[in-house]
């Protein structure tokens, strides 16, 4: 009699770096729902406060979850996680917008981290079918400097941002360079490669802590009544669930390759966001914010055609983000 093979043994093995973050958590949730064997990398798997939400997902969903210790700055650190993997989702990235040494702590660290992940991919290239990298819309164009009278595509690159400028500019440079290094190393290893370039990510929050700048700063400010936000940085938006799904389809669709802009194509103002919140939560106090007419800035037809994405409406994403931030105590609503 032939040995019985369990469904979990046949399921893909998917590695997700930076597992405790906002996007990575949603990605892990969707992978587990599909029955994948997920290996999530974190610096300290024993840090229960930072991983409890992941373990809860692992207990509740069909797939299996293993948390593996890894550090972007340590060569060979991802070997155990990547060994025998089918897909590698490299989500983790340095994003310290308050860094006093952005060249070293953001730009160089992102490139080094990408190299270290691919060092492990190289060792497991017989099993790894696809690497999917989380990049950003800021690698496509400079939000604060590019002309607004044109439409950008995956063929465009942000060549304007400066590595030592700090904040979002250094982050943009880190994404451009990490993409280019990943392309070089994927070609060398002979593995498929996809880059996902999302705009500002919003939507429902799963982890109560460690959810990053978007959730704990920008969204929190908005939901607590503030409206003085960096308008260029959040003019284009997308739901975290769509970004996670784009990662998965980029991995699983054999023909998927290259860059994919994942975003609503037309800008929306802070005033549009606050108007949505005022309508949905009439008993709460929100600011007004800057207003301006919508403008189509990016062409996302490649993602629609090749990944089959139909994006969640902005209003749904914003309301779901607010509800979960209120429920988790990340944001404290202000009563009228």
Dump pLDDT digits (tens) for 217-265: 788 899 999 999 888 889 999 999 999 999 999 999 999 999 999 999 9
The closest of 175, 35, 60, 206 to 110, measured between CA atoms, is 175
Q: Are 242 and 312 in contact (CB under 8 A)?
A: yes
The closest of 225, 335, 329 to 284, measured between CA atoms, is 335
Q: Are 265 and 298 in contact (CB under 8 A)?
A: yes
Number of residues written out for the chain: 336
Does the model's pTM come out above 0.75?
A: yes
Q: Which residues of the chain, if any, have pLDDT below 50?
A: 1-6
Pick the CATH number of 10-207+236-265+297-311 from 3.40.50.720, 3.30.70.260, 3.30.460.80, 2.120.10.30: 3.40.50.720
| Rg from Cα positions in the chain | 20
CA quadruple 279, 284, 288, 294: dihedral, nearest 10: -30
Looking at the DSSP bridge assignments, the partners of residue 38 are 14, 65
Residues 6+ apart with CB under 8 A from 65: 28, 32, 38, 39, 40, 54, 55, 57, 58
**pLDDT per residue over 254-289, tens digit each?**
999 999 999 999 999 999 999 999 999 999 999 999
Give the pLDDT confidence score for residue 146 in this predicted structure. Answer: 64
Give the pLDDT confidence score for residue 4 in this predicted structure. Answer: 38
């Amino acid at each position: 009699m032939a040995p019985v093979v369990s469904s979990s043994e046949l399921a893909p093995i998917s590695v997700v770096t930076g597992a405790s973050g906002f996007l990575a958590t949603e990605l892990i949730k969707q992978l587990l729902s599909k029955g994948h064997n997920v290996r999530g990398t974190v610096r300290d798997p024993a840090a229960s406060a930072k991983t409890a939400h992941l373990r809860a997902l692992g207990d509740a969903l069909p797939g299996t979850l293993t948390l593996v210790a890894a550090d972007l700055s340590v060569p060979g650190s991802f070997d155990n996680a990547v060994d025998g993997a089918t897909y590698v989702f490299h989500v983790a990235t340095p994003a310290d917008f308050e860094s006093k040494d952005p060249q070293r702590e953001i730009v160089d660290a992102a490139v080094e981290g990408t190299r270290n992940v691919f060092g492990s991919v190289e060792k497991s290239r017989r099993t790894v079918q696809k690497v999917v990298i989380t990049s950003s819309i800021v690698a496509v164009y400079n939000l604060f400097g590019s002309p607004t009278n044109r439409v950008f595509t995956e063929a465009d690159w942000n060549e304007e941002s400066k590595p030592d400028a700090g904040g979002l500019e250094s982050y943009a440079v880190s994404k451009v360079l990490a993409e280019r290094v990943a392309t070089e190393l994927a070609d060398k290893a002979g593995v498929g490669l996809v880059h996902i370039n999302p705009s500002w990510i919003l939507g429902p929050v799963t982890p109560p802590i460690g959810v990053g700048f978007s959730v704990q700063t920008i969204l929190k400010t908005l939901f607590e009544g503030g409206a003085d936000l960096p308008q260029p940085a959040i003019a284009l938006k997308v739901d975290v669930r769509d970004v996670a799904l784009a990662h998965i389809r980029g991995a699983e669709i054999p023909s998927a390759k290259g860059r994919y802009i994942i975003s609503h194509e037309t800008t929306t103002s802070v005033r549009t966001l606050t108007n949505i919140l005022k309508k949905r939560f009439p008993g709460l106090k929100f600011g007004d914010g800057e207003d301006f007419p919508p403008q189509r800035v990016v062409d996302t037809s490649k993602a629609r055609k090749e990944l089959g994405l139909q994006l969640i409406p902005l209003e749904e994403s914003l309301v779901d983000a607010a509800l979960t931030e209120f429920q988790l105590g990340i944001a404290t609503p202000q009563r009228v």
